[in-house]
Amino acid sequence: MPDDLGKYLIIAFIVGAVYLAWHAWQIKSASPNWPSVEGEMLVAKARARNETADQQGTPTHEWFTEVRYRYTVNGVSYTGDRLRAFGRNHFDEQHALQELAPFPVGQKVRVYYDPAKPASSVLIPG
């Protein structure tokens, strides 16, 4: 019985990962045709994959970008956190910061949103 539980957990993990990849692929394919509105950058920073409050400054080989932005569609305010459909990992902080350069905090930005689900958005379509 315990062996079966492990198998079910692995299957559930694989199904979840496949769903997330499929969902990101849907966004990547559709987002170039989405309408856009003006939004405002709230957060734009590069973070080390292993960086938590007690690990800051720990050497790492993997960096990612963290963004948050605000936008309004048909009078409803939303907050987005997706730079693009598929997140990118960077080998160093400099490359992550280069990707964020066009999106400084406080700047007005173009936000592309799913017209069927306006809460789903990206800053870089495709």
Tens digits of residue pLDDT in 34-79: 999 999 999 999 988 765 555 556 565 689 899 999 999 999 999 9
Which residues, in sequence order, are CB contacts of 84 under 8 Å at separation 6+?
A: 28, 122, 123, 124, 125, 126
pTM flag (> 0.95): no
CB 48 within 8 A of CB 63: yes
3-state secondary structure of 77: strand
Dihedral sign for Cα 38, 125, 80, 52, please. negative
- How is residue 33 written in tokens? 């045709």
* Residue carrying the six token digits 């993990």: 13
88-124 pLDDT, tens digit per residue, is 778 889 999 999 999 999 999 999 999 999 999 999 9
Whether 2 has a pLDDT exceeding 90, the answer reads no
Show me where the domains of the chain are located. 2-122
